[in-house]
Amino acid sequence: MRKPIPSVWRISRYSVDVAERIRELEAEPLPASTAALLDEAAAEVPDQLAWQFIDTGETATYRQVQSMVNRLASGLSGLGVRKGTHVAVMVSNRPQFPVSWLALGRLGAVMVPVNISYTGRELDYILQDSQAQYLVIADEFLPVLDAMKARPAVLSDARIIVVGESRPGFENWQRLLDSGDEAFVAPDPPGLDDLMNIQYTSGTTGFPKGVLQAHRYWLTQGKGNAFRDGLRFERILISTPFYYMDPQWLLLVSLYQRATAFVAARQSTSRYTEWLRRYRIHFSLMPAEVMFKNPPAVDDCDNETRKVNVYGLRKEIHAQVEARFNVNAREAFGMTELGTATFMPLDAVDMIGSGSCGQTGPFRQCRVVDTEGKDVPRGEIGEMVVRGSGILLGYFNKPEATREAFFGDWFRTGDLFRQDERGYFYIVGRIKEMIRRSSENIPAREVEAVLKDMPEIVEAAVLGVPDDIRKEEVKAYVILQPGLTPSEVPPEAIIEHARRFLAAFKVPRYIEYRSEFPRTPSNKIRKPELVKEKSDLRLGSWDRVDGVWR
C-alpha cells in the first residue's frame, strides 16, 4: 500500500490568493463555444487520453474525441439537425452521451437531457414541453418510449436515433457516426450566448421546468471549477449520471485541464475508494455522507486525491471524513439555474466543520435579501439571490415563471441563507416546497398529483422525512374515498400505482392513512402542522423498504 500523502501537505502546496485568482479568471476571455474548447485541447494534447469508461474499458484520446464529435455532427447535420434544433438524449453513462452533447454543441443545436429513470408519462412530458424535434435514445429505454401516451407528431421514426440495436425505420447512432465527415465544419457555428441545453429541474408547480443554458453558462462553470483553487487535475472521476449537470461540467473541467476523465456507469459508495486508488484520481464529487456509514477499511485513505466536492455534509462529521479518507473535502452551493454560486476555498481549513457552503464563486455575485429584494444585515436570514455571467437565460416557454424567478437581474434561489461578517454563506432552509432525496429534487405537488389520480384516494399530502443516508425520504399522507379502509386499499397498491407514473426515486417510501388534514381558512392543507404532530415522522407509517409498519 502506498503511503498516503497528508492533506495538509496538499493544502500548503496548492494554496493561492483566491480573490486574485477569481479576478484573473473573470478577466480572461472564454473560448468561443464548447466546440472551440475541445478544438483547443485537441490541438494542444492530441494524444492525451481524454476519457476512460471504467466499466467497459472504452478509451479515447483528445484527437479521437474530436474526430467522433465532428463525424457525429456531420451525420446529424445530414439528418436535418441545425442550429437551434432541440434534440432529447436518453442515454446512460456511455461514450455516446458526451459525444452527442459535444456534437450538438458544435452544430449549435440544443440538447435536452432525459433522466433514464423516467417512466413513459414523464418522458411524454419532457418531449412535449421541450418541443424536442429529435430523440437520441439507448435501446434499453425503447420500452419507455413505447409506454408514452402518444409520441409527438414531429418525432417520426426517422428522427428516433437509437444507440445500440435499432428498429426498422429508426435511425442508428453508430451509422450516423460512421458515415460522418471528420473534417466537418458547422455551417452556422454557435456563439457564447447561443442556447446549448434545456436542462430540466424539478419545480414546485408539479412538473419540471426547462432551464435555458447557453454555451457561456457551461464554459464559465467548467472554467471556474477547473481553476478557482489553482490546482492541477490530471485525472478526474465522473460517477453520477450524465443527464445531471455535474458530469457535464466535470467533462468541461477535464477539457480545460487537458485531463483524463474516468467515467463510471453509476455511482457506487462501495467502489468509490477503489476508483480513487486505482485511477489515482485528483478530483471528484464525493458521496461522503453515505460513505462515512460504510465500515472503515484499511485502504480508505490510500489515494492521491487533491480535492473532493461535497454537498450538505453534516458539519459534525466533516473533519472525520477528511481524516478517514485523506481528502480535502470542500462544500459548495449550486443550482441548475446558476451552476456553482458559492464554494469553500481550499485553504479555508478553519471553516472545516462550520456548516458553511463558502464564499461567492467565479462569475457570480451573491446577496441575502428580504421579501422586497433589499439586503438584510449580516447574520440575519433572507433569500439568496444571484446574478452573473452565464446564469440561466430563463425557463423554456414559461415567461411567467421566468419573471417570478428574478428581482431585476438577480435570480431568486428560493433558499434561505445567512452570511457572516467574513462573507461566508450558510444554508438555513428552503422557501420552495421541495423534497431533496440524495441528489434528486422531488416536487411534492407532482407526487401528490399522481396519488390523487388513483380513484381510491380523495386527497394526498407529501412531505420530506429526515433520513440519515438520503437526507430526505418521501412520505405520503392519504385520505381514502368514503367507505374504503386501508385493508381494502393497502400501501402496496398505492405504491404500485405510484411506480406506474413516477421515476423510482419519487415513489413514496412511507404511507400514512388519514381521516382528515389540518387546513387553512382557504381549505389548504397545513403541512407544518403535520410536521409538528410527531417527533419522528416515520411513526404510524408503512415503510415500503423495510416492509413494516413504523
pLDDT tens digit sequence for 536-549: 999 999 999 999 99
Angle between helices 491-501 and 444-452 (to 10 degrees): 110
223 neighbors 233 (Cβ within 8 angstroms): no
Average pLDDT estimate for 507-529: 82
Average pLDDT estimate for 55-84: 98
pTM reported for the whole predicted model: 0.82
Give pLDDT, residue 316.
87
Average pLDDT for the chain:
92
Average pLDDT estimate for 341-352: 95
139 neighbors 114 (Cβ within 8 angstroms): no
Average pLDDT estimate for 261-284: 95
79 neighbors 176 (Cβ within 8 angstroms): yes
- Domains of the chain, with CATH numbers? 34-43+62-215 (3.40.50.980), 435-549 (3.30.300.30)
pLDDT tens digits, 390-420: 999 999 999 999 999 999 999 999 888 999 9
Examine the pLDDT at 40 and tell me if it is beyond 50: yes
Cα distances (angstroms) measured from residue 51 to each of 48, 203, 269, 273, 530: 9, 34, 21, 19, 49
How open is the CA angle 341-342-343, to the nearest 5 degrees? 135
Examine the pLDDT at 6 and tell me if it is beyond 80: no
Portion of the chain with pLDDT greater than 90, in percent: 77
DSSP per-residue codes, 110-158: EEEE--TT--HHHHHHHHHHHT-SEEEEEGGGHHHHHTSS---TT--GG
Residue 540: Cβ-neighbour burial (10 angstroms; 0-12, 13-18, 19+):
middle
Give pLDDT, residue 520.
59
d(CA 233, CA 89): 29
Number of H helices, E strands in the chain: 17, 28
pLDDT tens digits, 100-141: 999 999 999 999 999 999 999 999 999 999 999 999 999 999
Give pLDDT, residue 206.
55
Give pLDDT, residue 499.
95
Q: Which amino acid is at 200?
A: Y
Examine the pLDDT at 2 and tell me if it is beyond 60: no
Half-sphere exposure of 252 (CA within 13 A, CB side): 27
Q: Which helix (H) or strand (E) holds 223?
A: helix 215-227
Average pLDDT estimate for 503-509: 95
Using DSSP's 3-state secondary structure scheme, residue 548 falls into strand
Taking residue 317's Cβ as centre, other Cβ atoms within 10 Å add up to 15
Give pLDDT, residue 430.
66
Average pLDDT estimate for 208-233: 95
Return the CA Rg of the chain. 24
177 neighbors 183 (Cβ within 8 angstroms): no
Give pLDDT, residue 293.
78
Examine the pLDDT at 523 and tell me if it is beyond 70: no
